[in-house]
C-alpha cells in the first residue's frame, strides 16, 4: 500500500459503522482537483494571444519536458443519462466529418504554424484521444487524423497512446486497426454491468460485449487496459456492485477508475432522466457501494492507486505509485510521465507546468467562430503563481498518496512546510479529532478511514474555494 499506516480492509470499512461521520463530511464535491486552481477560477480574459505567448514563454526553459497531446472528439451516437462530458449527440456522420476536416484540422494548422514560426519542438511523449467518443470516427477519418498529427509528432518517440473506447461502437477488428495506427492503451467506458442500472443510465452494455472485444490478440496488443466505473448511480446496491466487480475482475483490466458520479441537473437537465424511477444513492449508500467495490478489488489482487483508482501489480501505474510519480488529473490517475498537455478540440484543456492552464470553448458555435476568424478557440486560462503550484502538489499528494512528507516540500520549494502552512495545519486538527489523519512534526498521514475523505481534507489547502468543507465541519 502506498502509505505508512498499515492498511487493513476492516479499518477502512469502519467508515460504514459511523453514518454521522459520513454525513458530516458528505459534500457534493464537483471540484475533485483534477486541476488546481479549479477551472471556475481561470480567467475568461485569457485570449488566443495569451495562449500563443504562453507556449513561446514556456518552451525555451522546458525543451525536454514530456508533453501529452490531447485530442477531443465531442460527438456520441447516444446519450448516457449520467454524462458530464462535453459532447453533442448526433447520428449525422457528416457533422462529425465537418468538425474534423474543417475545424479540428484548422486548429491543428494554427498550432503547427505557431510551433514552426517559433522553432518549438515539444517533446511529445504521449497522445490521448478523449471525448465524447473518439470511437465515432470511422477508419478513414481516424487515419486522416493520425496522419495529420504525425506532421508534428514523432511517433517513434511516443510512450502511451490512449483511445477512450465506447465498447458498443467497436469490434476486435477496429481495435486491431487502432493498434496499427500506433495506439497502445485503451480506456473503456464501462460504468456498471447491472442491467437495471444500465437501464436507468441508458447504457445497455453486458459484460459479454466487453469480453468479446478483449480477445487474446487484443490483450497482447494492448498490455494496459483501463475501465471507468461509476459509483452512486440509481439502483446500485451492495448486491449489484458485487456482481459488477466480479465481472470486472474476470475481464481483468490492468487499471480501473471507480469514480463517484457527479449529479449536476442544473447544467445538464437530461440528468433528471436518470432518477425517473429511483433516486441517486444517498451519502451513506454511495460510501457503502464504494467500500464494497474497493474491498472486492483489493481482495482480487488490485492495489489502490489514489482516491478512485486501482491497478494490478504488474501495471506501470502500480510502480509509479510506489515511486510517488503518479499524478491525478482529468484523465484519472496517470503514471505521471507527461503531465504537460497541449490540447485541441472543443472544450479541451491544456497545462504547461508550472505556469499556465488554458481551455477551448465548450460550445461548438464559439469554437467554430474563433477558427473561422483564424484565432485559437481559447475560452479561458490562468497564469499560475508559485503558491498555486505548491498547493496543487500538496492537494495531489493528499488525494493520491494519502500523505504529505513535509521534508519533500521544504526541500523542493525552499519553504519550511510547517511555517508556510501553519494555518492549514491548525485547521487539520478537526480532522485529527475524527481519526481521519495523524499529524506529526514530519508528516500528515491519512488513516484508512480518512482516505474516504481525502478530497475534503485537500480542500483545507485550497485558498480559492472559500474553505467550504472546513467551514461546514467546524
Ligand X SMILES: C[S@@+](CC[C@H](N)C(=O)[O-])C[C@H]1O[C@@H](n2cnc3c(N)ncnc32)[C@H](O)[C@@H]1O
Instruction: Give me the residues that bind ligand SF4 (CB under 6 A), please.
Output: 76, 79-80, 83, 85, 87, 131-133, 166, 189
Identify which of residues 224 and 390 has a Cβ nearer to ligand X in the complex: 224
CB 251 within 8 A of CB 214: yes
79: partner contacted, choices ligand SF4, ligand X, none (Cβ within 5-8 A by kind): ligand SF4
3-class DSSP state of 237: coil
In angstroms, give the least distance from the CB of 269 to ligand SF4: 14
Bridge partners, residue 227, by sequence:
188, 256
Residue nearest to ligand X (CB): 189
In angstroms, give the least distance from the CB of 271 to ligand SF4: 11
Structure-block grid coordinates of residue 41? 477560477
Identify which of residues 1 and 84 has a Cβ nearer to ligand X in the complex: 84
Query: What does the angle CA 403 – CA 191 – CA 296 come to, to the nearest 5 degrees?
Result: 55
Q: Which residues contact 188 (CB under 8 A, 6 or more apart)?
A: 165, 167, 210, 225, 226, 227, 228, 253
DSSP at 278 = S
Identify which of residues 21 and 230 has a Cβ nearer to ligand SF4 in the complex: 230
230: partner contacted, choices ligand SF4, ligand X, none (Cβ within 5-8 A by kind): ligand X
262: partner contacted, choices ligand SF4, ligand X, none (Cβ within 5-8 A by kind): ligand X
In angstroms, give the least distance from the CB of 251 to ligand SF4: 19
Identify which of residues 213 and 321 has a Cβ nearer to ligand SF4 in the complex: 213
306: partner contacted, choices ligand SF4, ligand X, none (Cβ within 5-8 A by kind): none
Query: Using CA atoms, how far apart are residues 5 and 443, in angstroms rounded to an integer?
Result: 12
Helix H segments across 64-215?
93-98, 105-117, 139-149, 172-180, 195-201, 207-213
Sheet holding 303-304, edge to edge: 303-304, 309-311, 255-260, 224-231, 185-191, 161-165, 123-131, 66-73, 340-344, 349-352, 356-360, 378-383
Q: Which residues bind ligand X (CB under 6 A)?
A: 76, 82-85, 130-133, 164, 166, 189, 191, 228, 230, 259, 261-262
Identify which of residues 133 and 303 has a Cβ nearer to ligand SF4 in the complex: 133
In angstroms, give the least distance from the CB of 231 to ligand X: 9
Task: Tell me the pairing of strands 66-73 and 349-352.
Answer: unpaired
In angstroms, give the least distance from the CB of 175 to ligand X: 14
In angstroms, give the least distance from the CB of 99 to ligand X: 16
Task: Tell me the pairing of strands 224-231 and 185-191.
Answer: parallel
Identify which of residues 135 and 309 has a Cβ nearer to ligand SF4 in the complex: 135
In angstroms, give the least distance from the CB of 338 to ligand SF4: 23
261: partner contacted, choices ligand X, ligand SF4, none (Cβ within 5-8 A by kind): ligand X
Task: Please give the sequence-ordered ranges of beta strands (E in DSSP) within 238-355, or none if there are none.
Answer: 255-260, 303-304, 309-311, 327-329, 332-334, 340-344, 349-352
Identify which of residues 153 and 248 has a Cβ nearer to ligand SF4 in the complex: 248
Structure-block grid coordinates of residue 442? 514530519
Identify which of residues 76 and 288 has a Cβ nearer to ligand X in the complex: 76
In angstroms, give the least distance from the CB of 86 to ligand SF4: 8
Bridge partners, residue 70, by sequence:
128, 343
* Virtual torsion, Cα 220, 222, 224, 225, nearest 10 deg: -110
Identify which of residues 127 and 261 has a Cβ nearer to ligand X in the complex: 261
Residue where the block lists cell 467551514: 471
Q: Which residues contact 354 (CB under 8 A, 6 or more apart)?
A: 384, 386, 388, 389, 392
In angstroms, give the least distance from the CB of 272 to ligand SF4: 16
228: partner contacted, choices ligand X, ligand SF4, none (Cβ within 5-8 A by kind): ligand X
Amino acid at each position: 500500500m502506498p502509505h505508512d499506516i498499515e492498511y487493513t480492509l476492516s479499518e477502512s470499512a469502519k467508515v460504514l459503522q459511523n453514518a454521522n461521520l459520513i454525513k458530516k463530511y458528505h459534500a457534493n464535491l464537483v471540484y475533485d482537483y483534477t486541476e488546481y486552481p479549479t477551472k471556475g477560477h481561470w480567467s475568461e480574459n485569457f485570449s488566443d494571444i495569451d495562449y500563443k505567448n504562453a507556449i513561446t514563454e514556456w518552451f525555451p526553459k522546458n525543451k525536454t519536458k514530456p508533453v501529452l497531446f490531447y485530442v477531443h472528439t465531442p460527438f456520441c451516437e447516444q446519450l448516457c443519462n449520467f454524462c458530464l462530458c462535453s459532447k453533442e449527440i448526433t447520428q449525422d456522420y457528416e457533422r462529425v466529418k465537418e468538425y474534423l476536416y474543417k475545424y479540428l484540422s484548422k486548429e491543428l494548422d494554427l498550432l503547427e504554424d505557431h510551433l514552426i514560426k517559433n522553432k518549438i519542438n515539444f517533446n511529445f511523449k504521449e497522445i490521448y484521444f478523449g471525448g465524447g467518443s473518439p470511437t465515432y470516427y470511422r477508419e478513414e477519418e481516424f487515419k486522416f487524423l493520425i496522419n495529420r498529427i504525425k506532421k508534428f509528432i514523432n511517433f517513434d518517440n511516443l510512450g502511451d497512446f490512449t483511445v477512450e473506447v465506447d465498447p458498443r461502437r467497436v469490434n476486435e477488428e477496429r481495435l486491431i486497426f487502432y493498434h496499427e495506427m500506433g495506439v497502445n492503451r485503451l480506456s473503456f467506458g464501462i460504468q456498471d454491468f447491472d442491467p437495471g442500472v444500465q437501464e436507468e443510465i441508458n447504457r445497455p452494455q453486458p459484460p459479454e460485449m466487453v469480453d468479446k472485444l478483449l480477445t487474446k490478440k487484443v490483450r497482447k496488443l494492448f498490455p494496459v487496459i483501463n475501465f471507468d466505473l461509476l459509483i452512486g448511480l440509481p439502483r446500485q446496491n451492495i448486491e449489484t456492485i458485487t456482481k459488477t466487480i466480479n465481472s470486472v475482475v474476470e475481464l481483468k483490466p490492468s487499471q480501473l477508475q471507480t469514480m463517484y458520479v457527479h449529479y449536476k441537473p442544473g447544467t445538464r437537465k437530461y440528468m433528471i432522466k436518470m432518477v425517473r424511477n429511483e433516486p441517486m444513492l444517498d451519502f451513506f449508500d454511495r460510501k457503502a457501494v464504494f467500500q464494497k467495490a474497493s474491498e472486492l478489488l483489493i481482495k482480487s489482487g488490485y492495489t489502490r492507486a489514489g482516491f478512485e483508482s486501482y491497478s494490478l501489480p504488474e501495471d506501470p501505474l502500480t510502480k509509479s505509485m510506489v515511486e510517488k510519480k503518479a499524478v491525478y488529473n482529468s484523465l484519472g490517475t496517470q503514471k505521471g510521465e507527461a503531465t504537460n498537455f497541449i490540447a485541441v478540440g472543443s472544450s479541451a484543456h491544456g497545462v504547461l507546468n508550472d505556469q499556465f492552464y488554458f481551455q477551448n470553448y465548450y460550445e461548438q458555435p464559439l469554437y467554430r467562430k474563433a477558427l473561422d476568424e483564424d484565432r485559437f478557440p481559447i475560452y479561458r486560462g490562468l497564469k499560475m503563481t508559485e503558491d498555486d503550484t505548491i498547493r496543487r502538489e500538496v492537494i495531489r499528494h493528499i488525494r493520491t498518496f494519502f500523505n504529505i512528507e513535509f521534508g519533500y516540500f521544504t526541500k523542493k520549494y525552499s519553504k519550511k512546510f510547517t511555517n508556510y502552512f501553519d494555518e492549514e495545519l491548525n485547521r487539520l486538527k478537526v480532522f485529527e479529532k475524527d481519526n481521519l489523519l495523524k499529524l506529526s512534526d514530519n508528516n500528515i498521514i491519512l488513516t484508512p478511514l480518512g482516505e474516504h475523505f481525502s478530497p475534503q481534507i485537500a480542500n483545507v489547502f485550497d485558498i480559492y474555494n472559500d474553505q467550504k468543507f472546513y467551514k461546514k465541519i467546524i
